Structure 1
Amino acid sequence: MEQNSQSKTARVPMKAPSNRDGASSAVADEELNEDALADQASADDDAEYEEYEEAVRPMTLRRWLEQGGSFGSSVLVHMLLFLLMGYISVGPSEEELLLDLDRIRIETPPVSQEEPLQAVDFNQQVQSQAQQTSATFASQNNLGEGGEIGMGMGLPSVSLDPKILSSKPAGGSVSVDRLTLDMPSANVIAMGVPDGAFGDPHAVVENYDQAFDRITEELLFMLSEQEVLVIWIFDQSESMKDDQQMIRERIETVYAELGVVGEGRNARLTTAVASFGASYYLHTKKPTADVNEIKAAIDQVPIDPSGEEMMCQAIGRSIDTHAKLAAAQDRKIALIVVTDESGNRQNNDQYLEQALAYAKASKSRIYVLGREAVFGYPYAHQRWRHPQTKHVHWIKIDRGPETALVENLQTDGFRKRYDAHPAGFGPYEQCRLAKETGGIFFMLPGIEVDIVRGDDREYALEAIRPYKPDLRSRAEVITAMQGKPLQQVLTKIVQDLNPYREGAAKIMEARMLFSPRVDQLGVQMAQELEKARIFLTYLDAAAKTLEQAKVLRHDSDRRRQANYDLMYAQVLAYTARRYEYIAACDHFVRNPPEAPPMEKPGFLRFEGWRVHGNKELLAPDVTQSYVDRSTEMFNQIIAEHPGSPWAARAEWELSRGFGITVKAGGYDYYGPDRNPFTGPKIPVPKL
């Protein structure tokens, strides 16, 4: 499976980001395992490099300072030195600091104002379940402003493009439906209630073969009780085409092992095939036992360029579509989802519990062939080199988190996170669906080729068992949090330090590439100083709050303790690094290096001055205590939480070092197109 997984995503090998020759490596010093600072700039290279496209005067920095006029150079140097020296030596005043827990407070989410869901006539036993589900729905939606209590990502609302909804893949006959869900229909409700048995939300497999063996066993058990309808639901992402073909070729073997090949119209096992992206496709007119028809239906699964995966809606729609027929034929439903993403964030927030209600009311079991979630983060990023322009893009994909609410910092101290550290568990929604319906979440192994900062680390089940996520509904998790003050503190800090929150990124995210033009460089450094002042003020307040909350740690479970330990260590480490960032700017102004030639033959232009990690501290009188304390805490995490994602993250933080330096960057190419192409430009894919 690992070999297939690599071929699946290895579109084009990555070299240097952007269209540059001779650019400096993202890793500034070989002794650092990873320079998380400079490399991150490549993630949004197109936007950041645009401001440097204008012509640059071929003059070195030192020459500009010496010859650019006494007044201008004096003002620039003295202004920067005044701000830098004063801030490093003094720091924010006591009046500016946020000293107590009252400032970092938890606001109870407002009660949903959603209209009561329409009642349906059905037997009393099912009615009781539906009422319970309705209460869950009412508290599930609109839990907080801007999504801060839910995923905390503050993403825009999703609307379905009518063009996408009306599109049809080439070949075959399919039906395309707008994805809308309400309460389970009468078709679903009439089928009764599940027996309440929980499934397995954490089945680690080495490849698809192992997963199919387990699925075969599950289907055999179901067939021993009654006939079965299997619904395969495929993710329409381009990255899933190889997986779909692998499953297509394995289908016949599975049916042969089940002994149902050639049973004809009255087959004990029938199959339907559907797929989802921004819309829902049903590829089988009616469930079939014909293996060739099943293979042909899988071949019809299109590639959706929208990048949307309305997974939860598709699950509910699939069950509702087939529930009446399954009931009439007295069949159980086994629904198998095949995807390498966790689904659209807002869609999951809104429709997870509704999809689960459909499954429970119809006694459907949900099986998911999925991927490991990113540790405490909703996204991974995949490198993709444009086949025409040769530019490298980092494409965001939904891949987590493993919990109902984001529990870890979404920043690395300078930017949004771009790592893909494994969580040890699958995405929350998929694991919850499998567990609550008596199904299985199969966690396929390995990290795909071209995943940015992927870590192909495997955790021992026994090591991470004490840290298993709470798979109750988000509404239940939020309600339970009201009695857990430590979780409230951690959640609030995660929300406040969320770089996806509107306005937060402007303060939190530090510039990693400074202009080659000294007049612009001075303005940029002054702006970074003001941002650092505000950000450091909050980090200081967060550290004080975490110290006060230390008394709550002892009575918390292992997962909460690990979250607290890691967050506290990170806050101290990020404080040290941001002070060192200021010190690096100070050192740069005090000791301006000889700038490289602004231009080189071959249409190459100096890109500017890059920020790199460095082991040497430039302001040890201020930062050494932060470094020592955070280093001690990271090492303690490694010792107290061995073999866990928290220990792995602590190791990574230590490997980054704490010092910062500013060095000459590489060169951008600005001449005639070196990769001319004919025809329309291929759009950057959305995975």
Structure 2
Amino acid sequence: MSAIEANSPLQAEEPVVDGGVWGFLYDMPAWGISLVVHVGILLALMSITYVIETQRELEITSTITPEEVRQEEYVIDTEVTEEIGSKSDLNITGPSMAAAQNAGYDNHREEQERIEENIMDVRVQTPVSLPTPNEAEMMESIDLTGTTEHAGGTDGAIDRIVQEIAASLRQRKTLVVWLLDESASMQDRREAVAKRFRGIYQQLGQLDIGADVALRTGIISYGKDVHVLQKEPTGDLDLLMKAVESVQNDPSGLENVFTAVNEALRVYGRERKKMNAEMMLILVTDERGDDYHLLEDTVRRCAREGVKSYCVGNASVFGREKGFVHFKWEADGEQFEGDLPADMGPETVAAEGLQLPFWTASARGLERMSSGYGPYTLSRLCAETGGVFFLAEDGNRRKWDPTIMRQYTPDYRPLKDYQQQLSTNAAKAALVNAAKQTLLDGDDIPVPRLWFQANDDNILRRQITEAQKPLATMDYYVKELQKILEVGEKDRDKLDSDRWRASYDLAMGRVLAMRVRAFGYNAMLAEMKSNPKSFEQAGNNRWILQPAEDVNAGATVRRLHKKATEYLTRVISEHPGTPWAFLASVELGDPLGWEWKESKMQIAANDMNGNNANRPQFSPEEERERQDRRRREEKKRASQPKL
């Protein structure tokens, strides 16, 4: 060992501890050190236990039960909620309520993700999320409230209402209020309800759901005024029957349905609270209601108070305000019947269909084609409150596939949302403006004359001149419609639903097609007037204009023809199996050009005094019958009641 190593302090001396913690431990006996170690272990174990409990507490707070997951996935999922207003006929929640739910859902989800990111421990197994049901599964498991339902007439609607009442009674006590339209046209339907009324409540009493003590009913009728016929809710069938059968016809032609709904809420609201009951309103009517300006306030009030509204009503005419009700009436001891106009639509906020006539005989009567939906006003009331609009009468002979039509359900969002859409999309605004114009003046658009007597050139020219007069006015009118619709073409590709796209394209296609027909029609008349054609077959004395492929006009009209065909063809290809495609196919069913066809007709000869020598001579009895028919027609028109 070297001298240096021998004298090194590291080798020659014991380590020195200068006090402090280490000095304390150095001097501590063995049992003390053992105590310190065990206390440290206990503290460590306590720390571990505390962390685990804290994590569990947070995890439990953010856990969602399977039932809640299913409910939230259906009610507030963004995609489904958007379909409620404009594309789907589910309408489980009101669109305005769904919008509020969407806003809350986004915030909740963001907060939940933040919490999970901060506290999730990789040692804890993450729960498996429940799969979102597809549309078919939801259709099978979800009650289709808020829809328009084809119930199979008044009896079918009543049967469905019994089911709705029974479903409510299984949950809690129920107060049902019937609101009966006093219109004369509703007499048959009211009688049908009255005949079924006793059976309704007897059927409910047999379901073992406590209907005898849990169900109470009130009765209201309405027309120009509102009449509370059974003010004290009761389960006494005799009193209810007496009230229903006491409804009188109101000749005013007014149906203040929303005034009646608000009166029902006022009259029966206190009793409902006393019963702690569910409240259901059942409207029986055939029109939209004349006081529809009260719609928004009524919807908000019903939704706020949790009152469901159901309606037994008629389908709206496709894209139009006016519909028709077949009615029988008496005037001065005589019986009459006929189709009378009634305010039955439209199925959307504003009419979105053009009231333009078809020029071919095969297409007559399409102005009465049903939309398959109830009027917007009552359908919205039902949709927002979770009820159902039952179609008791649908005059549509054509039936559309409900699976296809689900994508074309009217938008039942509030009026302000509809107005916002019109202000932000020129195509929507143009369509509504054009439809409004035809609503005001559509009845003035003539169907052109297609045949002309031609046994004499002067007679032929006079008839052509008379036929050209209304055509000039009509062409100007249709040209103005074209200008209105063309303003919206720039936003056509921004239309956000199949219904809007189909409606706009059909409107533009029909307007352009009508202009092409009018141009060609006028050109054919002008040519015939200036240079009458000769008949090829002897004895023929009449010219008939019939559709043909050749468009007899200039380059401008040919461009219109091409554009009209493109629009109408697009409707047919993009919206198959819908009313829009059907009407487009009808428009294109006949070519847009014209050609002359000769034929023969019976023409009465005049004597030297200008009298018709070949006029049929009637016996006095026959002449009286003819005059009586004319008198009855005049009286029928004059005595038509207001519906």
TM-score interval (norm. to shorter): 0.5 to 0.7
Question: CA 1:303 to 1:580, structure 2 compared with 1: closer, same or farther past 3 Å?
Answer: farther
Question: CA 1:360 to 1:509, structure 2 compared with 1: closer, same or farther past 3 Å?
Answer: same
Are residue 281 (structure 1) and residue 227 (structure 2) matched?
yes
Q: Do 1:230 and 1:334's aligned partners in 2 also have CA atoms closer than 8 Å?
A: yes
Aligned twin of 2:493: 553
Aligned twin of 1:509: 445
Q: Do 1:512 and 1:611's aligned partners in 2 also have CA atoms closer than 8 Å?
A: no
Question: How do 1:556-595 residues align onto structure 2 when only pairs under 5 Å count?
Answer: 556-583=496-523, 585-586=525-526, 589-590=529-530
**Counterpart selection for 2:480 from 528, 535, 538:** 538
Letter in 2 for 1:686: K
Question: CA 1:505 to 1:431, structure 2 compared with 1: closer, same or farther past 3 Å?
Answer: closer
Question: CA 1:486 to 1:293, structure 2 compared with 1: closer, same or farther past 3 Å?
Answer: same
Are residue 649 (structure 1) and residue 583 (structure 2) matched?
yes
Letter in 2 for 1:509: I
**Counterpart selection for 2:348 from 403, 424, 448:** 403
Letter in 1 for 2:356: T
- 1:586-630 CA-partner distances (Å, limit 9, x unpaired): 367458899xxxxxxxxxxxxxxx999832479623556544543
Question: How do 1:427-576 residues align onto structure 2 when only pairs under 5 Å count?
Answer: 427-444=375-392, 446-447=394-395, 455-495=396-436, 497-500=437-440, 504=441, 509-510=445-446, 527-528=469-470, 530-532=472-474, 534-542=476-484, 544-545=486-487, 548-549=489-490, 552-553=492-493, 556-576=496-516
Letter in 2 for 1:251: F
Q: Distance in 2 between matches of 1:522 and 1:644?
A: 39
Q: Do 2:434 and 2:485's aligned partners in 1 also have CA atoms closer than 8 Å?
A: no
- 1:262-317 CA-partner distances (Å, limit 9, x unpaired): 99998321112222222222222422212222222221222222322222222222
Are residue 412 (structure 1) and residue 368 (structure 2) matched?
no
Question: CA 1:403 to 1:544, structure 2 compared with 1: closer, same or farther past 3 Å?
Answer: closer
Are residue 311 (structure 1) and residue 257 (structure 2) matched?
yes
Aligned twin of 1:621: 553
Aligned twin of 2:44: none
Q: Do 1:543 and 1:572's aligned partners in 2 also have CA atoms closer than 8 Å?
A: no
Question: How do 1:1-20 residues align onto structure 2 when only pairs under 5 Å count?
Answer: none
Q: Distance in 2 between matches of 1:252 and 1:383?
A: 28
| Richer in helix (by share) | 2
Letter in 2 for 1:399: M
Q: Distance in 1 between matches of 2:466 and 2:525?
A: 11
**Counterpart selection for 2:312 from 366, 369, 372:** 369
Q: Distance in 1 between matches of 2:295 and 2:222?
A: 15
Q: Which deviates further from its counterpart, 645-654 or 253-262?
A: 253-262
Q: Distance in 2 between matches of 1:436 and 1:665?
A: 62
Q: Distance in 1 between matches of 2:272 and 2:329?
A: 46
Aligned twin of 1:685: 641
Question: CA 1:393 to 1:268, structure 2 compared with 1: closer, same or farther past 3 Å?
Answer: closer
Deviation at 1:417, TM superposition (A): 9.1
Q: Distance in 2 between matches of 1:326 and 1:403?
A: 33
Deviation at 1:375, TM superposition (A): 1.5
Are residue 244 (structure 1) and residue 190 (structure 2) matched?
yes
SS in 1 for 2:438: coil
Q: Distance in 2 between matches of 1:611 and 1:277?
A: 53
Question: How do 1:48-447 residues align onto structure 2 when only pairs under 5 Å count?
Answer: 199-259=145-205, 267-344=213-290, 347-348=291-292, 350-382=293-325, 394-412=339-357, 419-444=367-392, 446-447=394-395
Q: Distance in 1 between matches of 2:296 and 2:304?
A: 12
Question: CA 1:313 to 1:617, structure 2 compared with 1: closer, same or farther past 3 Å?
Answer: farther
SS in 2 for 1:673: helix
Q: Distance in 1 between matches of 2:627 and 2:432?
A: 51
Alpha-carbon RMSD: 4.5
Letter in 1 for 2:348: T
Using the size of structure 1 for normalisation, the TM-score is 0.57
Letter in 2 for 1:639: S
Q: Distance in 2 between matches of 1:276 and 1:567?
A: 38
Question: CA 1:417 to 1:627, structure 2 compared with 1: closer, same or farther past 3 Å?
Answer: farther
Question: CA 1:487 to 1:498, structure 2 compared with 1: closer, same or farther past 3 Å?
Answer: same
- Which structure carries more relative contact order (alpha carbon 8 Å, separation 6+)? 1
Question: CA 1:673 to 1:259, structure 2 compared with 1: closer, same or farther past 3 Å?
Answer: closer
SS in 2 for 1:283: strand
Percent identity over paired residues: 25
Q: Distance in 2 between matches of 1:675 and 1:402?
A: 37
Letter in 2 for 1:652: V
Q: Which of 1 and 2 has greater Rg?
A: 2
Gaps in structure 2 of 5+ consecutive residues: 1-96, 101-142, 535-541, 604-614, 617-622
Q: Distance in 1 between matches of 2:602 and 2:412?
A: 46
Question: CA 1:439 to 1:674, structure 2 compared with 1: closer, same or farther past 3 Å?
Answer: closer
Q: Do 1:565 and 1:633's aligned partners in 2 also have CA atoms closer than 8 Å?
A: yes
Deviation at 1:368, TM superposition (A): 0.8
Q: Distance in 2 between matches of 1:644 and 1:484?
A: 24
Letter in 2 for 1:398: D
Q: Which deviates further from its counterpart, 660-669 or 288-297?
A: 660-669
Q: Distance in 1 between matches of 2:145 and 2:509?
A: 36
Question: CA 1:391 to 1:534, structure 2 compared with 1: closer, same or farther past 3 Å?
Answer: farther
Gaps in structure 1 of 5+ consecutive residues: 1-128, 133-196, 448-454, 595-609
Q: Distance in 1 between matches of 2:588 and 2:446?
A: 20
Q: Which deviates further from its counterpart, 427-436 or 302-311?
A: 302-311
Question: CA 1:301 to 1:342, structure 2 compared with 1: closer, same or farther past 3 Å?
Answer: same
Q: Distance in 2 between matches of 1:298 and 1:612?
A: 58
Deviation at 1:485, TM superposition (A): 3.4
- 1:532-551 CA-partner distances (Å, limit 9, x unpaired): 453254245346445x42x6
Q: Do 1:229 and 1:331's aligned partners in 2 also have CA atoms closer than 8 Å?
A: yes
Q: Do 1:334 and 1:365's aligned partners in 2 also have CA atoms closer than 8 Å?
A: yes
Question: CA 1:302 to 1:261, structure 2 compared with 1: closer, same or farther past 3 Å?
Answer: farther
SS in 2 for 1:284: strand
- 1:135-194 CA-partner distances (Å, limit 9, x unpaired): xxxxxxxxxxxxxxxxxxxxxxxxxxxxxxxxxxxxxxxxxxxxxxxxxxxxxxxxxxxx
Q: Do 2:433 and 2:484's aligned partners in 1 also have CA atoms closer than 8 Å?
A: no
Q: Distance in 1 between matches of 2:248 and 2:419?
A: 38
Q: Distance in 2 between matches of 1:296 and 1:358?
A: 30
Letter in 1 for 2:349: A
Q: Distance in 1 between matches of 2:321 and 2:567?
A: 26
Q: Do 1:374 and 1:421's aligned partners in 2 also have CA atoms closer than 8 Å?
A: yes
Q: Distance in 2 between matches of 1:226 and 1:283?
A: 25
Deviation at 1:492, TM superposition (A): 3.3
Q: Do 1:316 and 1:356's aligned partners in 2 also have CA atoms closer than 8 Å?
A: no
Aligned length: 459
